[in-house]
Amino acid sequence: MAKDKAYKLLALQEGISNGKAKELIDKGVVTVEGKKLLVARGEIGDKSIFKIKEIPKVTIIYQDDDILAVDKPAYLSASEVEEMFPDAKLLNRLDKETSGVMMLAKNEVFRGKAIKEFMDNRVYKEYVAIVEGKVIDEFKVDLPILTIKGKSAKSKIDLVKGKPALTIVTPYMVEGHKSKIQIVIENGRTHQIRVHLQYAGFPIVGDIQYGKPSTQVQRVMLHSKITKIMDYEFEAREPREFFHFGF
């Protein structure tokens, strides 16, 4: 069977430009035979049938003269969300495959105040996740994290060079060999929750980078549910993927 680069074949199938095809693959919304296509330049059989998952739209949770809070869907990067609101600047970031509360400042005065809240660890950040394994008791992971920057950032626990990171985990429910948990973090290092849960033996379902692929979902099952900053409190409802596991 003849092969060609995935993005070229997708472009032919959909009648779109090569650039648009690469963009869709990079967003993680293209699958072949139920498996997410990860490398746009990877070679694949020329008879392959591609499916493109629709990207949910960003939902505005709240806005006033100072702040804009949105519910970011999975598969959109923080930068792409910021581009949708040219008069606002990001206050927090989420990984592309993580959904939930994101905040943007609508003026520089408020942005300065909000950034200080983050720097002083006065922002409450609560997540929900579905993980591999049975989480029965609450536990904490208080280990420093080092992030290696590059085209694709990767983090790891490093007792010497890492920055402080505290993750508090509370079990919600166990179903089979998976658990639904609540996570509260005090710092917010890159991939902090994913790295700490892997270390604890409970990798997040669908986390290819720090765990293993899932046959049930095509995303990391991590959602930023509640964020509190100053006098504001924002909540984003759990996406429908979270109900696929019986929780």
Catalytic machinery residues: 95
> Is 113 in contact with 106 (CB distance < 8 Å)?
no
The beta strand positions in 2-132, using DSSP E, are: 3-5, 30-32, 35-36, 43-45, 50-52, 59-63, 67-72, 89-90, 99-105, 124-132
Residue carrying structure tokens 């950034």: 115
86 vs 153: CA distance, rounded Å: 25
89 vs 131: CA distance, rounded Å: 32
Strand partners for 177? none
81 vs 98: CA distance, rounded Å: 13
